[in-house]
Amino acid sequence: MSAFIIVDTKINNPEPYETYKQLAKPIAEKYGGVYRARGGAMDIQQAQLWSPTRMVIVEFPDRQSAQAFLDSAEYAPVKKLREDNADCTLFILDGA
């Protein structure tokens, strides 16, 4: 069953965050990740629980692959770059 990493990101430092985006994508792809949405325009229909900022959706073959990407040694320094330059909510969602 596929799994999705879903991230809502408020970018605080755009220049270093661009570096994060360039570095993260090939690592995610190594673990089978396919970007389905990456900061596209949103038409928010209802926001009672949460007001999203900038959404990223990456599909992985399964939860284990998504978690392996997040826990990987090669992603660790890239993750730090994200954490230092953006505020995020990130979760893994199982597919149907």
Locate the domains of the chain by residue range. Answer: 3-94
pLDDT per residue as tens digits for the range 3-57: 999 999 999 999 999 999 999 999 999 999 999 999 999 999 999 999 999 999 9
Distance CA 39, CA 56 (A): 6
Element (H, E) at 91: strand 86-94
Q: Please report where in the chains the tokens 């992603």 appear, as a residue.
A: 75
- Assigned CATH for 3-94: 3.30.70.100
And the tokens for 29?
Answer: 């792809």
Which residues neighbour 66 within 8 Å (Cβ) at sequence distance 6 or greater? 3, 4, 5, 31, 33, 58, 60, 92
Q: Do 4 and 67 touch, CB atoms closer than 8 A?
A: no
Is this model's pTM higher than 0.85 or not? Answer: yes
Element (H, E) at 26: helix 14-30
